[in-house]
Structure 1
């Protein structure tokens, strides 16, 4: 009998009662990152503060659901169902589909450039599509989260969130706000975001990746709510202040077209694309 099977007969002594079983199982999945893609069962339990019987039960259930798989005895990685879900998202996400349709119309401002399409998920910005090549690997490609307060890609989204969201983010993230170059006080932070919102496009250099310059514009759903951004990343040497306003206007037009196509595809999922 293997250890997971043996765990079925262990008495339940879980002292961790925070959240539902589903929430705690999701915390198990959250342990698997690019830096730590493989975990032992005992290490998972130690990292989360779960009892041995609880972590063995969760791992067994996740493995049975193909959300985890055993790469070798006692060591686990993310499973096949997640790979299948990622493929489904690539094929069905209306924003990804819209971006793929519009790729031929993306401006070629530099031989070295990469376009990023990012979505806002609550208060997290995640890259969902990437197109082009840059002289070096950018710090996040598809599936990688971006800091909400740094970089043109995220600031284009942040500037268009509601005043109520801005206030809560300021209260919840004082250190990140201070490091964002958006102001040290609430009033400075609020005015910086208003200025970015009026300008509509956002530019930044070296805030995420050294030597990388980004130009971004927000994306909106059919109700005018910001849902993401499109950005073009280039070597910082390619930044040309004389042409930045013109390119900013171009990316705003592209963002508007992308938003409209995304809404159309969301309302008509079977529309060819």
Structure 2
């Protein structure tokens, strides 16, 4: 590992399960010597990425909040997807989400709520399960077969409990059906009594970059309404995909033009 990897490794220690670390715990986990660890902590503290808490412990610092604000202003997914969130929350008493897919994690980056008593187990910033829920299946359905087999094989018990298949082949068949329909629907898999509807947002190579999702109380929708909402989520997600691809193509064209004029 080079110095940059080691520095990022210190940041990577912080998690929902363990948001605070002492220096001794960090040294034990990373294998770094005390001088090496304190050199990295000094850099992270000076940039505000890490701060001291409870006297001898460390947690993530205020710079992380600042970076989050900047990400939300610059992320094209949020810029192009905001209108979809507004449309879905205007149509139903629901919660609508934009979620990113990265490093085999599913993470909400933006949401709007119109439900009278919204209930969610995974607010913005908290990674979602890979083997439960409509969002998971909407994204996994567009991965390669090899990736599906790896994720399916690592989460067989959870997929089986959700009725998505008891073997890797059965899971692959379930995801193939989701891909054909272009949208996934799940009942109470993440939050009891809640219907989740999700569709993938694809990049130029037809790989999943994100997903659009809405959740609504089962008591608020009929099967017919659920079918209609699923079609709207699918169509809106396809519209966001087209905008993202167009934005990407425009950037590439601009870069090529700059190169030609040099």
**1:171 deviation in Å?**
3.5
For residues 227 and 259 of structure 1, the distance between their equivalents in structure 2, rounded to whole angstroms, comes to 9
Aligned counterpart, 1:129: 110
State TM-score, norm by structure 1: 0.81
For residues 214 and 152 of structure 2, the distance between their equivalents in structure 1, rounded to whole angstroms, comes to 27
User: Which deviates further from its counterpart, 73-82 or 41-50?
Assistant: 41-50
For residues 215 and 102 of structure 1, the distance between their equivalents in structure 2, rounded to whole angstroms, comes to 14
Gaps of at least 5 residues in structure 2 are: 252-262
Residue 31 of structure 1: SS of its match in structure 2?
A: coil
Question: What is the total number of aligned residue pairs between the two structures?
Answer: 250
**1:255 deviation in Å?**
1.0
Aligned counterpart, 1:3: none
Aligned counterpart, 1:138: 120
1:236 aligns with 2:218: yes
Gaps of at least 5 residues in structure 1 are: 1-18
For residues 107 and 209 of structure 1, the distance between their equivalents in structure 2, rounded to whole angstroms, comes to 19
* Aligned partners of 1:120 and 1:126 also within 8 Å: yes
1:182 aligns with 2:158: no
Aligned counterpart, 1:117: 98
**1:237 deviation in Å?**
1.8
Residue 250 of structure 1: SS of its match in structure 2?
A: helix
Residue 58 of structure 2: SS of its match in structure 1?
A: strand
For residues 168 and 17 of structure 2, the distance between their equivalents in structure 1, rounded to whole angstroms, comes to 35
For residues 218 and 178 of structure 1, the distance between their equivalents in structure 2, rounded to whole angstroms, comes to 22
State TM-score, norm by structure 2: 0.84
1:162 aligns with 2:144: yes
Alpha carbons of structure 1 residues 173 and 35: separation in structure 2 relative to 1, 3 Å: closer
More helix, by proportion: 2
Matches within 5 A, 1:65-104: 65-71=47-53, 73-104=55-86
